[in-house]
Amino acid sequence: MTEQRRLRVLIVDDQTLIRTGFRLILTARGLTVVGEAADGVEALAAVREHRPDVVLLDIRMPNMDGLEAAKRILAAHPQCRVLMLTTFDLDQYVYAALAAGASGFLLKDVTPEHLVAAVRLVSTGDALLAPSITRRLVARYATGQHTPHSTPPVRPAPHRDLAALTPREVEVLTLIGRGLSNAELADTLHLSEATVKTHVARIFSKLALRDRVQAVIVAYETGLVAPGDNDA
């Protein structure tokens, strides 16, 4: 994405005040809000019409919730990035949303600066959550450690073929699953950061991964990493 083109954002939330507030913040800082929607059904139609770069998507909405909407949006528009909106930190739906392809999460009381930075970050294809934080979330939800009243997580289908990876790439994916950054990977494997970035890019390409969040999930789902490995 060129610097000249303004980021196009769709805001989806059933609360009018939330949508209005986010619109004012984003437009004041040079981003283009192409539309708003009040539920998942409206969101699907709005994405088809406006083709946004980033969708701010509430998790809990009437008619169609954010999880189902995220899955459908990303299946039909894989180039789009989804940031989930939630009222509570560590919402029980976090893992399900990550598995659905969300690039990160924002609390609804996010500061204006953090909101804009988050939208810009995920638009580049990166993930909002730090790998170490993501690792702990996935470790909790992938092993079923949700509360008795929470909704069980939606797990991605086991379609990842690790046989496509070289032994070095498997090693890199394992370390990504343990929460290591590119700099830490380079130090651990005695490689340059440029070489590490090449390995990471090839892993993402071979396994059709969107970002490091999905890489962490795959590392857990395939058994490369177990809960508690290098736990921080």
CB atoms within 10 A of CB 75: 10
Q: What is the pTM of this model?
A: 0.68
Query: With 60 as the cut, is the pLDDT of residue 162 above it?
Result: yes
| pLDDT at residue 122 in the model | 86
- By the 8 A CB rule, do 194 and 184 touch? no
Angle (nearest 5°) at CA 230 between 183 and 160: 75
| pLDDT at residue 129 in the model | 65
Instruction: Provide the percentage of residues in the chain whose pLDDT is more than 90.
Output: 47
Q: Does the fold of domain 162-221 match that of domain 8-128?
A: no
Query: With 60 as the cut, is the pLDDT of residue 159 above it?
Result: no
| pLDDT at residue 172 in the model | 95
Taking domain 162-221, whether its CATH number is 3.40.50.2020 is answered by no
What CATH number belongs to 8-128? 3.40.50.2300
Averaged pLDDT score across all residues of the chain: 82
Tens of pLDDT along 20-33? 999 999 999 999 99
Phi and psi angles of residue 46, each rounded to the nearest 5 degrees, phi first: -70, -35
The domain segmentation of the chain, as residue ranges, is: 8-128, 162-221
| pLDDT at residue 2 in the model | 44
Nearest to 97 by CA among 125, 143, 134: 134
Tens of pLDDT along 92-149? 676 777 777 888 888 888 889 989 998 998 888 776 765 556 666 666 655 555 443 3
